[in-house]
Amino acid sequence: MRNRSGKIALALATAAGLACASIFVEPGAAGPDYADQGEYAGPELGAQVIALGDGEFEAVLLAGGLPGAGWDGSSRTRAMGRRSGSEIVFSGRWWATLQGGELRGTSPEGESFVLTQVMRESPTLGAPAPPGATVLFDGSGPGDFDGKLDGEGNLAAGATSRSRAGSFELHLEFRTPFMPSYRGQRRGNSGVFLQNRYEIQVLDSFGLTGEDDECGALYGQKAPDVNMAFPPLRWQTYDVVFEAARFDAAGKRTQRARVSLRHNGVPVHDRVALSGPMDDGDPEGPEPGPLHLQSLWIPVAYRNVWIKPIEASR
């Protein structure tokens, strides 16, 4: 189990350095590197192009297609690229040029390819609250949260729900900023804390391998089965089924909490038993808890948040 002390230190360092590099919350102001970053697809092949700042890029070639859409789950071949005039030139174990929304090159096996930029959207984006659900945030104000709105009327990271829940289904949508000059945990970091005890990581992990501290992870406990992170500034979805831990009359835990998660519509966790809460989160117990959207002084936005109580499986 991993605690939040590392995240707190990260938050302080990030807050001190926010003015040192560009952070974009609107695609129109993000520049040409943002426009070229993204996903590219063709017959039985996909690529994810990640902007690294100052015209530098990394691209990952994926056999079979994009994550959740054909990728074989293991083959990842990297190449580094740099903007040269109107195109970006990649070289390494494979080479390609990117221009006008097309990535043209030769694979490590010597086969030529042409991949076209695609803009995927989660199939659960905009999902309405079903009967029996409570809308926690719909954009008309802070709603059920003790928090603030950003300039676009979205819920800013750093909000905690007033209501508390035991076992539940949860839907929410989030957007990480474009931070090309930042790396790792400094890049679009937030977190969804179920009962303010157990964290599902939120991070700009686009193009990464999907570790237990990256987007979609049960933080410090289990990596997602597949990294389904979309590029930054794209709205993404978490659809969660949370089964609360059970306790006997003496307060002894008899069943661990479990989490199932679909990230952008794709299952990445299936009833994963959690070892316990974050060390400095709320103590584990039979009482319900709030939903907390973590703030690390990074402008991560949330919207369309609803929750529905359920009966936990035995």
> What fold characterizes domain 21-118?
Lipocalin (2.40.128)
Cα dihedral 288/290/291/294 (nearest 10): -130
CA proximity to 188, closest of 222, 154, 239, 233: 233
- pTM of the predicted structure, to 2 decimals: 0.93
Tell me the per-residue pLDDT of 281-300, one tens digit each, with 9 for 90 and over. 899 999 999 999 999 889 99
In the chain, what are the domain boundaries?
21-118, 122-309
Give me the chain's average pLDDT, please: 93
**Could you tell me which residues come within 8 angstroms of residue 35 by beta carbon, excluding any fewer than 6 positions away?**
27
Given this model, what pLDDT does residue 313 score? 62
Q: Which residue, chain included where needed, has tokens 């083959």?
A: 75
DSSP3 helix / strand / coil % (the chain, rounded to 5):
10, 40, 50
Contact 179, 188 (CB under 8 A): yes
Tell me the per-residue pLDDT of 69-125, one tens digit each, with 9 for 90 and over. 999 999 999 999 999 999 999 999 999 999 999 999 999 999 999 999 999 999 999
Q: Which residue, chain included where needed, has tokens 């709205």?
A: 235
Q: CATH 2.60.120.560: does it fit domain 122-309?
A: yes
